[in-house]
């Protein structure tokens, strides 16, 4: 791989050990993928914030890095394992978890990373431009940045994104290269489909990898964040195109590509076979990906239309600090109604297994992770937000 003189000096340790180690990770991974050079990045998004997901080994690694380096580009953080300022709202948080989580937060602060705690940085905390090279680790944000914005990022692991944040570089392979961003399969989607989360899961599960090209008329743009997140989870997809909507769709040649039709019957069968939509939830959790201000406003209308019953399960509404600042009135109304609005965290990366055994969600991404025995061990009840409110509140 070609390195400039300055990049060579970084690698040799002339700028300190953490920069040398970070450069070494980036160059080694780049060589593995036959990258020819390094690219300057304009931003990074780091994952691996929750104590639940990184544990003691993660803390040890972050201590080492934070003692020796700071980030060199604007960098945002994924959600943590609890609401950083109001953890007392979450009955699941014990003293040990709280102190470990706060320790992690301090380590990231020391490195100069913005305390955003969101998987939707593209909604305001960290917005790249078309064509920017970036190094983002959160798969739902990666697919959004590539598809909807036209920025360029691979699905980075947490340590690799952090290494890029420190050095300001990523290596030139995968989604940074024009020809790897072309469609590999076409989906023709029935315009009656409204559940973008379930649709994303179906596409991800079917395609598994590659770049889906969707022919989908009548798209609601602000809901596209909910389409990409499960696509990137049920498959390892980093980008998709939508005809007439996304910025790079015109660059594709669809001749010879497999074509798949999707209608509501396909989605219902998928829901029954792979997720499940029946049962009595102990917890209802909205916000995976974390809710936008517009989604909070919509949810507020649906939820507060009727009073909370004494038998209703606990309701979590997960969003970011930035989005919460845009929906203060609705958040106050939801809390008065009896919902818990949680910032900085989500139902997947917080330790819900400490208290709950069954959770209702309207997120097909959460439906993928929550049932895993070694992770959250939940029985999942998937429904749309309206169905959840009608059935359980
Ligand atoms: Fe975000 Fe948590 Fe879902 S980090 S995409 S809300 S799993």
**Among 207, 220, 63, 222, which Cα is nearest to 144's?**
222
Cis peptide before 289 (omega within 30 of 0): yes
Query: 221 CA to middle of ligand 1, Å?
Result: 19
Q: Is the CB of 229 under 6 A from ligand 1?
A: yes
pLDDT digits (tens, 9 = 90+) for 297-316: 999 999 999 999 999 999 99
- pLDDT of amino acid 300: 98
Q: How far apart are CA 284 and CA 139, in angstroms?
A: 24
Taking the CA of residue 349 as reference, the ligand 1 atom at the shortest distance is 2
Instruction: Kindly state the average pLDDT of the residues 41-65.
Output: 97
Q: Which two structure tokens, joined as six digits, stand for 304?
A: 């507060």
Q: How far apart are CA 60 and CA 228, in angstroms?
A: 33
Q: Which two structure tokens, joined as six digits, stand for 368?
A: 């993928």
Q: Is the CB of 52 under 6 A from ligand 1?
A: no
Q: Is the CB of 140 under 6 A from ligand 1?
A: yes
Q: Is the CB of 288 under 6 A from ligand 1?
A: yes
Are 183 and 154 in contact by the 8 Å Cβ rule? The answer is no
Instruction: Kindly state the average pLDDT of the residues 264-278.
Output: 97
**Is the pTM higher than 0.85?**
yes
Tell me which of 119, 197, 342 to substitute to probe ligand 1's pocket, judged by most ligand atoms within 8 Å of the beta carbon: 119
**Among 111, 144, 149, 126, which Cα is nearest to 44's?**
126
Average pLDDT, the chain: 97
Query: 327 CA to middle of ligand 1, Å?
Result: 20
Tell me which of 136, 288, 372 to substitute to probe ligand 1's pocket, judged by most ligand atoms within 8 Å of the beta carbon: 288
Q: How far apart are CA 119 and CA 234, in angstroms?
A: 17
Query: 132 CA to middle of ligand 1, Å?
Result: 24
Query: 243 CA to middle of ligand 1, Å?
Result: 27
Query: Which residue puts its alpha carbon closest to atom 7 of ligand 1?
Result: 348
Name the DSSP letter for residue 218. S
Give the DSSP H/E element, type plus range, for residue 187: strand 185-189
Instruction: Kindly state the average pLDDT of the residues 42-56.
Output: 97
Percent of the chain with pLDDT over 70: 100
Give the DSSP H/E element, type plus range, for residue 203: helix 196-207
Residue 93, classed as helix, strand or coil, is: coil
Give the DSSP H/E element, type plus range, for residue 213: strand 212-215
**Among 347, 299, 307, 304, which Cα is nearest to 327's?**
299
Query: 371 CA to middle of ligand 1, Å?
Result: 15
Query: Which residue puts its alpha carbon closest to atom 3 of ligand 1?
Result: 288
Instruction: Kindly state the average pLDDT of the residues 372-381.
Output: 95
Residue 167, classed as helix, strand or coil, is: helix
Positive or negative, the CA dihedral 305, 191, 258, 133 is: negative
Residue 130, classed as helix, strand or coil, is: coil
**255-259 LR contacts (CB < 8 Å, sep 24+):** 257/183, 257/184, 257/185, 257/186, 257/213, 258/185, 258/186, 259/185, 259/186, 259/187, 259/188
Give yes or no for residue 225 having a pLDDT over 90.
yes
pLDDT digits (tens, 9 = 90+) for 192-221: 999 999 999 999 999 999 999 999 998 999
Q: How far apart are CA 89 and CA 86, in angstroms?
A: 6
Query: 73 CA to middle of ligand 1, Å?
Result: 23
Q: Is the CB of 143 under 6 A from ligand 1?
A: no
Q: How far apart are CA 186 and CA 190, in angstroms?
A: 13
**Among 118, 128, 141, which Cα is nearest to 238's?**
141
**Among 238, 230, 26, which Cα is nearest to 153's?**
238
- pLDDT of amino acid 11: 97
Three-state secondary structure of 279-327: CCCCEEEEEEEEECHHHHHHHHHHHCCCCCCCCCCEEEEEECHHHHCCC
Instruction: Kindly state the average pLDDT of the residues 89-102.
Output: 95
Tell me which of 161, 197, 322, 348 to substitute to probe ligand 1's pocket, judged by most ligand atoms within 8 Å of the beta carbon: 348
CA 271 vs. chain centroid, Å, equals 21
pLDDT band at 164 (very low <50, low <70, confident <90, very high): very high
pLDDT digits (tens, 9 = 90+) for 308-352: 999 999 999 999 999 999 999 999 999 999 999 999 999 999 999
pLDDT band at 256 (very low <50, low <70, confident <90, very high): very high
Taking the CA of residue 369 as reference, the ligand 1 atom at the shortest distance is 7
Q: Which two structure tokens, joined as six digits, stand for 154?
A: 């691979």
Tell me which of 361, 365, 372 to substitute to probe ligand 1's pocket, judged by most ligand atoms within 8 Å of the beta carbon: 365
Residue 170: exposure state from Cβ atoms within 10 A (0-12, 13-18, ≥19) = buried
Are 99 and 359 in contact by the 8 Å Cβ rule? The answer is no
Q: How far apart are CA 178 and CA 174, in angstroms?
A: 9
Q: Is the CB of 78 under 6 A from ligand 1?
A: yes
Q: How far apart are CA 242 and CA 117, in angstroms?
A: 29
Instruction: Kindly state the average pLDDT of the residues 172-197.
Output: 97
Q: Is the CB of 342 under 6 A from ligand 1?
A: no
pLDDT band at 375 (very low <50, low <70, confident <90, very high): very high
Taking the CA of residue 119 as reference, the ligand 1 atom at the shortest distance is 1
**Among 121, 6, 10, which Cα is nearest to 69's?**
10
């Amino acid at each position: 791989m070609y390195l400039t003189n300055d990049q060579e000096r970084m690698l040799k340790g002339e700028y300190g050990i953490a920069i040398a180690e970070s450069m070494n990770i980036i160059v080694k991974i780049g060589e593995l993928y036959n990258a020819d050079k390094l690219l300057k990045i304009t931003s990074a998004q780091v994952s691996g914030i929750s104590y639940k997901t990184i544990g003691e080994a993660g803390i040890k690694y972050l201590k080492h890095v934070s003692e020796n380096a700071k980030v060199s580009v604007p960098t945002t953080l994924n959600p943590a394992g609890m609401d950083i300022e109001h953890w007392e709202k979450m009955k699941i948080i014990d003293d040990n978890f709280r102190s470990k989580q706060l320790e992690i937060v301090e380590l990231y602060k020391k490195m100069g990373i913005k305390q955003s705690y969101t998987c939707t940085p593209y909604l305001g905390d960290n917005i790249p431009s078309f064509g920017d090279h970036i190094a983002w680790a959160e798969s739902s944000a990666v697919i959004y940045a590539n598809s909807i914005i036209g920025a360029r990022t691979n699905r980075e692991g947490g340590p690799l994104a952090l290494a890029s944040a420190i050095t300001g570089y990523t290596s030139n392979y995968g989604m940074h290269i024009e020809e790897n961003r072309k469609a590999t399969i076409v989906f023709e989607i029935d315009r009656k489909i409204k559940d973008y989360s379930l649709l994303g899961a179906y596409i991800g599960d079917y395609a598994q990898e590659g770049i889906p090209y969707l022919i989908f008329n009548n798209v609601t743009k602000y809901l596209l964040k909910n389409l990409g997140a499960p696509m990137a989870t049920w498959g390892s997809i980093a980008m998709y195109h939508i005809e007439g909507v996304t910025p790079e769709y015109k660059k594709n040649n669809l001749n010879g590509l497999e074509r798949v039709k999707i209608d509501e019957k396909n989605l219902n069968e998928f829901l029954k076979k792979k997720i499940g939509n029946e049962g009595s939830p102990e917890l209802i959790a909205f916000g995976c990906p974390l809710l936008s201000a517009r989604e909070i406003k919509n949810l507020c209308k649906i939820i507060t239309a009727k009073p909370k019953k004494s038998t209703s399960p606990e309701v979590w509404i997960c969003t970011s600090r930035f989005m919460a600042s845009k929906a203060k009135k609705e958040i106050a109304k939801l809390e008065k109604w009896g919902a818990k609005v949680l910032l900085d965290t989500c139902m997947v990366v917080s330790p819900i297994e400490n208290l709950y055994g069954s959770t209702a969600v309207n997120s097909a991404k959460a439906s993928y992770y929550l049932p895993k025995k070694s992770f959250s061990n939940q029985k999942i009840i998937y429904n749309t937000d309206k169905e959840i409110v009608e059935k359980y509140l």
